[in-house]
Structure 1
Amino acid sequence: MIVVDESTDATPAIVLEYAARGVRLLRPAQNRGRCGARNVGIRSARGDVVVILNADVFPPPDFLERIIRHYERGADYVLVESRVANTEFLLPRYMQAMHEATYRGAEWIEWTEGYSCRREAALDVGLFPEDVPIPIPAGEDAYFGARMARKYRKVIDRSIVVPHVMPHTWQSFWAQHRGRGRGTPLCRVFLDGLPLWLVASRAGLRTARWLLSAILLVPGMAVAARLSAHSRRGWRDIPGFFAAWHVSQLAQLVGAWAGIGELMRHNGRRRPE
């Protein structure tokens, strides 16, 4: 099933060309963002196990055959390894290095590309959070994973590697990280129940820390040097990784303040006259 909500290109027409081969096109009646699109797909699924794939993911041909073995042994959800495919470009190489430095060998993770779970378990934990006043653009998968972890059995199989494509231009890189930043305050307020003043205060502290790191240069260089150990280009990627880290941090801050502004406007509309 392909769920198409915000597409402005020829995606629906392309999907319809595969209808005879069993590919279903789903068009939500109302655009509820990524969460709503995923929920439409899960509710419409007919199988016992659902696999949730973003548009930039292309699993290997034997992916389903390999994950189903874990479900036959009692798994409720399966996490796999992901790998950025287009690492010939600097920014995807940076993202792969960041992934390896952060998640390699981690057992605490609750979400990965190529995430799969039993459909009934997903329905039981309430699916993805779509009933919020402002659609959440990023971060919602961690909350879904955490709810699954409270009740269901996880299996991590890092021998299954799912390639995916990351933005390779500065413009698309900025847009992706701004979206991630924008999702943070929305998650904190709508899902964690934190007051907006506390979320804004934390964003202010993070902004101050980034400004200090930009002035001192050393923190960014330290991050870039650490990440370069996970790049095939080694130390030659340090300057590029330094720039990518600062752009990522700034984009997320800009996104966070944009999300805070949306929340302030939403709260303003809710106040009685």
Structure 2
Amino acid sequence: MPELPEVETTRRGISPHLIGQTIQATVIREPQLRWPIPADLPERLDRRTVRTVERRGKYLLIGTNRGTLIVHLGMSGSLRILSPDSPPRKHDHLDIVLANGTCLRFHDPRRFGCVVWTENDPQVHPLLAGLGPEPLSTSFDAAYLYRKARGRSTPVKSFIMDSHVVVGVGNIYANEALFRAGIAPRRQAGRIALPRYEKLVLSIRAVLSEAIEQGGTTLRDFVNENGNPGYFQQTLQIYGRSGLPCYRCGQSIRTERLGQRSTYWCPSCQR
């Protein structure tokens, strides 16, 4: 699944091609995604000018002078800048054709993504209104995380993956951040002291920042806006290394299912 770094990489890639451009045509090939693409989307989008391309959690917000297109890549979606003459492949569900002779094409084999239109403030849209702070923003700090954790018996890994607590900390990045912070993934969130949350916040920020700079993690169907895979997977310290020696202490890395997700940890380095 494309996570925050992959979505941010996509945003940075497509933004220069979209901002300031007028939408010439909207072509819907397959409307049945997670929710149906609105049938009147061409009427709402065509002849509008793209003003902004932003990200909120794992959602891309393409803002125009009339409203905002909210896009989620789902499990396997991607956005690419192509010539509108490029033959569509299977699962190329939507084209947004620009006046400069290029188009933004939405590809989603599993059709778990979504394309939603709103003419109101997108931040109050039901998909976004309940989201927690951005992990790279100043509003996300140790004091906030410590306060949110009070009285919580949920495992800390599940806690930081809760989008109502903080957005964009997916499974791979949660494993990596907890390893760097030296915190066992099953430890109860409410039983972690403030100094340890300070380490965890720094680790989350570092892991996500590094992944963004390296283009995200190559996982399943993810490619960036040019069709190239991300490369952060080459630097993973613990995810996917079950039974292999820990890079720090040499002890075998363990794995189990936690919250229906593969969880990796070092029993020596993480407490």
Normalised to the residue count of structure 2, the TM-score between the two structures is 0.26
Higher relative contact order (CA 8 A, sep 6+): 1
Write 1 or 2 for the structure with the bigger share of strand. Answer: 2
Normalised to the residue count of structure 1, the TM-score between the two structures is 0.26
